[in-house]
Structures are given as C-alpha cells and as structure tokens.
C-alpha cells in the first residue's frame, strides 16, 4: 500500500524556511509535498514557483486562510512564532514551529491551548534532540554505568562577530534565543526529562563583537535537589576549541561526546579497591592514591549520520512528525518539554535585563 503524501505550507523562506525546511522536505518525496509558500520578498516567491511548483503568497495570513494543508511549517521571524502558530492552529492546521517557539511561557501556553482546543498537532522544531551523539549519550547515561550523574557541560561556542537582525533584542535576537534552544533542550532533558523546572543561575553579556544590543556570551547553570548540575555555555569569544560540546561527570566515570562520536570510561565498584576514611595526618606527607580499574569504550556514528548529521537529525524529526500525522507514532519532542526550556530562557532574561540601545 502506497504511503500517504502530506501537503505542506511553509511560512517564510529565509535561512531556516528555505535552507532547512524547504531543503529537506523537497527531498522527502515519499512523505511530503510542498504545496504552498509565503514570503514578503517577491524574488523568493518566484524561486518557490520555479523550484517547487508551489502556490505562493506575500501574506502568510492569506495562505493560512485559503489553503487546505496537512502541515504548516512556521519559519517566520522569531517574534511571529507565537501569533503565526496560534492563527494556523485556529484555522485547523497542524504546525511545526521553528525555535524559539516563544520567549515567554505565557505565549507558549496559549499556543498549546490552541492546539488542544482545535485537536491539532503542535510540533516544536528541536532537531538537536535527534543528534546521533546526544541520542547515544542518553543511552549510556540511562544504562547506569556512569553511576549518579553529577555534572554536565554543554558548550556551544566559537569565535564569531555578528551584525545582522538577530543581534537586536527587539527581534528576539541574541545567542540564548537563537542558538540557545539547541543545547537548552538537551539540558532540560538531561536535568529531568523536560518535566522538572530547575533552579537557574545565568550570566549574560552583550560584548563588543555584537553590533546590536543582544547577548553574545552566556553561562547558564541548572541545578536542583537530587538532580545533576547542568551548565550551558554560549560563548562567541571562544577562539580555541575546548573539547567536545558535551561532557558528563558521573560518580563512576565520565563521557565526552560530539559530532564525531563518543568516548566514555567507568569502573565497576565491586572490582575497585575498598577504601575507608583515614582521619589521621597524611602518611609520609603524601596524598592518598589508588589505581582504578577503568573500562573505556568509544562509539562512532553511522556512515549517514557522520556524513551529514544535520540532515540525519532533520530526517529523524520529520519522520516522527509524519508518523504522528498518519497515526503511527507519538511525538518525541513535546510542547510541554519545550515549555520547561522556555521557562529557563525566560528566567535567564529576567536575571539579566540588558539595556536596549536600538
């Protein structure tokens, strides 16, 4: 039996609308067909007609009102994510919404309420949840070989100056709102499966490499009783690499992971030397020493994931959306999980009210 082809409308043909969503969906011909596109720029609409054979609209409101679609992708500018999504849901469309879904929990709550009221799908676009190394790291953590997870560091940094529209607070710009949803989604999942709100410490600055007024250097720590401490670093001034983007410290070992794979080591407490507290002065003025019987392992991603991990994560995300819409699966990235992420981001901004200069 042939699979059903879902018709898609894409709102916006900018970096994410064209380079991410259009780029992938036009390849997934056994699942999706791009039927309609909206954008304010006539040249982008002409390109969509030529390349996709899609119906085009300068006004996304008109697309939502006129088109009967299986799925709408909201890749509008960030500030239009809540309003555009709510309108689409109220008009009966299922929606994939780009990140950030919102920067206030109240706005996301309205989006979720609209989806529930209209019995429609709201799928947050959090493709980094499907990164092969992150999936593997969660598998290793869940296995318990690293013991109690005490500390996680997610470092999404590099040296980059910026002077575009995403450096402006009025456009919801800045590293936390734009890059942050990727590691922050991973962070809240590692902290408590996206179901537990952590206590948040955040320090954010707008440095000289940002020609706007938004943040470009952020350090965020999530913590809570009985939970790992999770640090997220977004540093636009990191001129040298500092290891893999994900590092995990557990009571029995640790893990380091990134796009090229993962390495972890741990020990079996039954095979380690037995120790007891020595309360007297040090023996021969020496620190205590022991030889831990480490077990070290490594993993490399499959050929396709290693060749183009971004496309691999996109495929996994849109496969999941397809399964949900055809009644064959449940949503992996849920709005309620992302609500925790947005609550953390909102708290970070509340702690760091940067001056608006523009």
**pTM of the entire structure?**
0.95
Question: Along the 358 residues of the chain, how does pLDDT read in single tens digits?
Answer: 568 999 999 999 999 999 999 999 999 999 999 999 999 999 999 999 999 999 999 999 999 999 999 999 999 999 999 999 999 999 999 999 999 999 999 999 999 999 999 999 999 999 999 999 999 999 999 999 999 999 999 999 999 999 999 999 999 999 999 999 999 999 999 999 999 999 999 999 999 999 999 999 999 999 999 999 999 999 999 999 999 999 999 999 999 999 999 999 999 999 999 999 999 999 899 999 999 999 999 999 987 666 688 889 999 999 999 999 999 999 999 999 999 999 999 999 999 999 998 8
The pLDDT, as a whole number, for residue 2 is: 63
- What distance in Å separates the CA atoms of residue 255 and residue 261, rounded to the nearest whole number? 11
* Token reading at 59: 């006004």
Q: Kind and range of the H or E element at 242? A: none
Residue ranges of domains in the chain: 6-125, 129-311+340-351
In this structure, whether the domain defined by 129-311+340-351 belongs to CATH 3.30.360.10 is answered with yes
- What distance in Å separates the CA atoms of residue 190 and residue 352, rounded to the nearest whole number? 24
Q: Where are the alpha helices (DSSP H) in the chain?
A: 15-16, 23-25, 42-52, 60-66, 81-90, 105-118, 132-143, 175-178, 181-192, 303-307, 309-325, 335-351
Residue 106 · residue 82 · CB < 8 Å: no
Instruction: Give, in words, the CATH class of 6-125.
Output: alpha beta
Residue recorded with tokens 């496309």: 311
Residue 110 · residue 86 · CB < 8 Å: yes
Residue 190 · residue 228 · CB < 8 Å: yes
CA atoms within 13 A on the CB side of 167: 19
The pLDDT, as a whole number, for residue 310 is: 85
Residue 6's SS3 state is strand
């Amino acid at each position: 039996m042939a699979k059903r082809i879902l018709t898609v409308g894409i709102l916006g043909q900018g970096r994410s609308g064209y380079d991410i969503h259009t780029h992938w969906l036009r390849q997934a011909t056994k699942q999706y067909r791009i039927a309609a596109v909206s954008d304010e720029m006539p040249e982008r609409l002409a390109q969509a007609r030529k390349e996709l054979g899609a119906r085009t609209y300068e006004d996304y409101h008109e697309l939502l009102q006129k088109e009967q679609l299986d799925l709408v992708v909201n890749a509008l500018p960030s500030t239009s994510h809540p309003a555009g999504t709510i309108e689409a849901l109220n008009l009966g469309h299922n929606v994939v919404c780009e990140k950030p879904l919102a920067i206030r929990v109240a706005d996301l709550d309205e989006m979720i309420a609209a989806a529930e009221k209209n019995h429609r799908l709201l799928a947050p676009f959090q493709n980094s949840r499907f990164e092969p190394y992150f999936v593997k790291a969660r598998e290793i953590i869940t296995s318990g070989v690293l013991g109690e997870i005490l500390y996680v560091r997610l470092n999404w940094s590099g040296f980059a100056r910026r002077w575009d529209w995403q450096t402006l607070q009025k456009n919801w710009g800045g590293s936390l709102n734009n890059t942050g949803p990727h590691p922050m989604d991973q962070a809240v999942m590692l902290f408590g499966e996206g179901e537990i709100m952590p206590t948040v410490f955040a320090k954010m600055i707008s440095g000289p490499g940002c020609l706007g007024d938004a943040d470009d250097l952020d350090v965020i720590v999530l913590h809570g009783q009985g939970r790992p401490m999770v640090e997220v670093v977004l540093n636009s001034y990191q001129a040298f690499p500092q290891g893999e983007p994900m590092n995990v410290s557990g009571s029995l070992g640790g893990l380091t992971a990134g796009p090229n794979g993962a390495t972890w080591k741990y020990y079996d407490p039954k095979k380690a030397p037995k120790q007891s507290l020595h309360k007297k002065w040090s023996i021969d003025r020496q620190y205590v020493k022991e030889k831990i019987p480490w077990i070290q392992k490594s993993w490399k991603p499959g050929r396709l994931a290693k060749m183009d991990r971004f496309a691999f994560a996109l495929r996994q995300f849109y496969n999941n959306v397809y399964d949900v819409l055809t009644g064959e699966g449940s949503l992996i990235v849920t709005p309620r999980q992302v609500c925790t992420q947005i609550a953390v981001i909102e708290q970070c901004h509340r702690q760091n009210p940067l001056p608006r200069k523009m």
